[in-house]
Structure 1
Amino acid sequence: MTAATHSPLFPRTPDSADAVLEGLDPEQREVATSLHGPVCVLAGAGTGKTRAITHRIAYGVRAGILQPSSVLAVTFTNRAAGEMRGRLRQLGATGVQARTFHSAALRQLQYFWPKAIGGSMPRLVDRKVQLVADAAAACRIRLDRGELRDVTAEIEWSKVTQTTPADYPLAAAKAGREAPRSPAEIAQLYAAYEDVKRDRAVIDFEDVLLLAVAVLQDRQDIADQVRDQYQHFVVDEYQDVSPLQQRLLELWLGERDSLCVVGDASQTIYSFTGATPDHLLDFRLRHPGATVVKLVRDYRSTPQVVRLANGLLAQARGRAADHRLELVSQRGSGPEPVFTEYTDEPAEAEGAARRIRELLDAGVPASEIAVLFRTNAQSEIYEQALADVGVPYQLRGAERFFDRPEVRKAGIALRGAARFGGNDSLLDDAVDLPSQVRAVLSGEGWTPQPPAGSGAVRERWESLAALVNLAQDFVAVHPRATLADLVAELDERANAQHAPTVQGVTLASLHSAKGLEWDVVFLVGVAEGMMPITYARTDEQIEEERRLLYVGVTRARERLHVSWALSRSPGGRPNRRPSRFLDGLRPGTTTVAGRTGAAAAGGVERGVVGAVEAAPRRRQRTPARCRVCGRTLTDAGEMKLMRCEDCPSDMDEGLYERLHEWRQIQASRSGQPAFCVFTDKTLMAIAEAAPADPVELARIPGVLTRKLNRYGADVLAICAGQEVVAGAEDD
Structure 2
Amino acid sequence: MSEANARLDLDERGVEERILAGLDDEQRSVATTLAGPLCVLAGAGTGKTRAITHRIAYGVHTGVYSANHLLAVTFTARAAAEMRARLRDLGVGNVQARTFHAAALRQLQYFWPHAVGGQLPGLLEHKAQTIAEAARRLRLPADRAGIRDLAAEIEWAKVSMLTPETYLAKAADRGEPAGLDRTSVARLFQSYEDVKTDRNLIDFEDVLLVTVGILQEDERVAATVRDQYRHFVVDEYQDVSPLQQRMLDLWLGGRQELCVVGDASQTIYSFTGATPRHLLDFKARYPDAGVVKLVRDYRSTPQVVGLANALLSSRRSAGPAADALWSAPLRLVAQRPSGPEPEFVECSDDEAEAAAVAARIKVLLDGGTEAAAIAVLFRTNGQSEAYEQALAAAGIGYQLRGGERFFARKEVRDAILQLRAASRAAEGEAVGQMVRDVLSNLGYQAEAPKSSGAVRERWESLAALVALGDELVAARGEGFTLAHFVAELQERATAQHAPTVQGVTLASLHSAKGLEWDAVFLVGLSEGLMPISFADTPESVDEERRLLYVGITRARKFLTLSWSTARTPGGRANRRPSRFLDGLRPHSTATASSRMPARKTRKAAAPSTCRVCGKLLSTGAERKVGRCADCPPGYDEAVFEALRQWRLSEAATAGVPAYVVFTDATLMAIAESSARTLEQLAALPGVGPAKLDRYGSAVLEIVARA
> TM tier, shorter chain?
0.7 to 0.9
1:322 counterpart SS class? coil
The 1:527–1:207 alpha-carbon spacing in structure 2 relative to 1, beyond 3 Å, is: same
Q: Distance in 2 between matches of 1:495 and 1:73?
A: 18
Amino acid at match of 2:400: L
Offset at residue 402 of structure 1 (A): 2.0
Within the candidate set 390, 406, 412, 1:401 is matched to 406
Q: Distance in 2 between matches of 1:229 and 1:180?
A: 47
Q: Distance in 1 between matches of 2:132 and 2:497?
A: 33
Q: Distance in 2 between matches of 1:47 and 1:126?
A: 35
Q: Distance in 1 between matches of 2:30 and 2:548?
A: 28
2:490 counterpart SS class? helix
Aligned to 2:361: 356
Q: Distance in 1 between matches of 2:222 and 2:81?
A: 27
User: More displaced, 29-38 or 257-266?
Assistant: 29-38
2:164 counterpart SS class? coil
Offset at residue 456 of structure 1 (A): 3.3
2:171 counterpart SS class? helix
> What CA RMSD, in Å, does the superposition of the two structures yield over aligned residues?
1.8
Amino acid at match of 1:183: R
Scaled by the length of structure 2, what TM-score is found? Answer: 0.80
Offset at residue 178 of structure 1 (A): 5.6
Offset at residue 374 of structure 1 (A): 0.2
Match status 1:441 vs 2:447: no
Aligned to 1:606: 591
1:173 counterpart SS class? coil
The 1:198–1:15 alpha-carbon spacing in structure 2 relative to 1, beyond 3 Å, is: farther
Within the candidate set 382, 391, 404, 2:396 is matched to 391
Aligned to 2:416: 411
Aligned to 1:457: 455
The alignment of Structure 1 onto Structure 2 pairs a total of residues equal to: 580
Offset at residue 404 of structure 1 (A): 2.2
Q: Distance in 1 between matches of 2:598 and 2:515?
A: 34
The 1:193–1:416 alpha-carbon spacing in structure 2 relative to 1, beyond 3 Å, is: same
Q: What percentage of aligned pairs have identical amino acids?
A: 63
1:159 counterpart SS class? helix
What are the Cα deviations for residues 362-391 of structure 1, in whole angstroms up to 9, with x where unaligned? 111000000000000000110000001110
What are the Cα deviations for residues 278-327 of structure 1, in whole angstroms up to 9, with x where unaligned? 00000011111100111100000000000000000002242344321000
Offset at residue 466 of structure 1 (A): 0.6
What are the Cα deviations for residues 477-534 of structure 1, in whole angstroms up to 9, with x where unaligned? 4356432332233234334332210000000000000000000000000111100000
Q: Distance in 1 between matches of 2:113 and 2:452?
A: 51
Match status 1:202 vs 2:201: yes
Aligned to 1:420: 425
Match status 1:85 vs 2:84: yes
Offset at residue 15 of structure 1 (A): 5.4
Q: Does structure 2 retain, via aligned residues, the 8 Å contact 1:605–1:614?
A: no
Offset at residue 616 of structure 1 (A): 4.0
Q: Distance in 2 between matches of 1:222 and 1:446?
A: 52
What are the Cα deviations for residues 539-563 of structure 1, in whole angstroms up to 9, with x where unaligned? 0000000000000000000010000
Offset at residue 606 of structure 1 (A): 1.2
User: More displaced, 28-37 or 222-231?
Assistant: 28-37
1:95 counterpart SS class? coil
Amino acid at match of 2:483: A
Offset at residue 408 of structure 1 (A): 1.6
Aligned to 1:142: 141
Offset at residue 174 of structure 1 (A): 4.5
Q: Distance in 2 between matches of 1:365 and 1:617?
A: 25
Q: Distance in 2 between matches of 1:90 and 1:130?
A: 43
Aligned to 1:109: 108
Offset at residue 613 of structure 1 (A): 4.9
Offset at residue 472 of structure 1 (A): 2.6
Aligned to 1:32: 31
Where has structure 1 moved over 6 Å in runs of 4 or more? none
Q: Distance in 1 between matches of 2:598 and 2:193?
A: 58
Offset at residue 171 of structure 1 (A): 1.1
Q: Distance in 2 between matches of 1:350 and 1:195?
A: 50
Q: Does structure 1 retain, via aligned residues, the 8 Å contact 2:146–2:178?
A: no
Q: Distance in 1 between matches of 2:151 and 2:429?
A: 54
For residues 204-603 of structure 1, what are the structure 2 equivalents within 5 Å? 204-316=203-315, 317=317, 318-421=323-426, 432-477=430-475, 478=477, 481-588=480-587
User: More displaced, 580-589 or 523-532?
Assistant: 580-589
Q: Does structure 2 retain, via aligned residues, the 8 Å contact 1:40–1:290?
A: yes
Amino acid at match of 1:535: F
The 1:613–1:449 alpha-carbon spacing in structure 2 relative to 1, beyond 3 Å, is: closer
What are the Cα deviations for residues 610-654 of structure 1, in whole angstroms up to 9, with x where unaligned? xx8584489xxxxxxxxxxxxxxxxxxxxxxxxxxxxxxxxxxxx
Q: Distance in 2 between matches of 1:211 and 1:93?
A: 31
For residues 11-30 of structure 1, what are the structure 2 equivalents within 5 Å? 16-30=15-29
Q: Does structure 2 retain, via aligned residues, the 8 Å contact 1:605–1:615?
A: no
Q: Does structure 2 retain, via aligned residues, the 8 Å contact 1:353–1:382?
A: yes
Aligned to 1:181: 180
Q: Does structure 2 retain, via aligned residues, the 8 Å contact 1:299–1:329?
A: yes
Q: Does structure 2 retain, via aligned residues, the 8 Å contact 1:433–1:482?
A: yes
Q: Does structure 2 retain, via aligned residues, the 8 Å contact 1:150–1:180?
A: no
2:52 counterpart SS class? helix
Amino acid at match of 1:38: P
Q: Distance in 1 between matches of 2:425 and 2:347?
A: 59
Scaled by the length of structure 1, what TM-score is found? Answer: 0.77
Amino acid at match of 2:432: P
Q: Does structure 2 retain, via aligned residues, the 8 Å contact 1:370–1:506?
A: yes
Q: Does structure 2 retain, via aligned residues, the 8 Å contact 1:369–1:505?
A: yes
What are the Cα deviations for residues 591-619 of structure 1, in whole angstroms up to 9, with x where unaligned? xxxxxxxxxxxxx5316xxxx8584489x
The 1:491–1:150 alpha-carbon spacing in structure 2 relative to 1, beyond 3 Å, is: same
1:605 counterpart SS class? coil
Offset at residue 431 of structure 1 (A): 7.0
Amino acid at match of 2:112: W
The 1:605–1:530 alpha-carbon spacing in structure 2 relative to 1, beyond 3 Å, is: same
Q: Distance in 2 between matches of 1:320 and 1:95?
A: 38
Q: Distance in 2 between matches of 1:571 and 1:127?
A: 42
2:205 counterpart SS class? helix
Q: Distance in 2 between matches of 1:35 and 1:175?
A: 42
For residues 640-679 of structure 1, what are the structure 2 equivalents within 5 Å? none
Q: Distance in 2 between matches of 1:94 and 1:338?
A: 43
Q: Distance in 1 between matches of 2:84 and 2:597?
A: 48
2:536 counterpart SS class? coil
What are the Cα deviations for residues 435-476 of structure 1, in whole angstroms up to 9, with x where unaligned? 322221122232344445543333222111111122233334
Q: Distance in 2 between matches of 1:35 and 1:164?
A: 39
Q: Distance in 1 between matches of 2:231 and 2:582?
A: 45
The 1:66–1:479 alpha-carbon spacing in structure 2 relative to 1, beyond 3 Å, is: closer
Q: Distance in 2 between matches of 1:92 and 1:31?
A: 19
Q: Distance in 2 between matches of 1:585 and 1:527?
A: 14
1:37 counterpart SS class? coil
2:348 counterpart SS class? strand
What are the Cα deviations for residues 177-206 of structure 1, in whole angstroms up to 9, with x where unaligned? 766311011111100000000000011000
1:372 counterpart SS class? strand
Q: Distance in 2 between matches of 1:614 and 1:359?
A: 11
Offset at residue 250 of structure 1 (A): 0.4
Q: Distance in 2 between matches of 1:319 and 1:564?
A: 32
Amino acid at match of 1:416: A
User: More displaced, 177-186 or 476-485?
Assistant: 476-485
Q: Distance in 2 between matches of 1:44 and 1:101?
A: 22
For residues 128-167 of structure 1, what are the structure 2 equivalents within 5 Å? 128-167=127-166
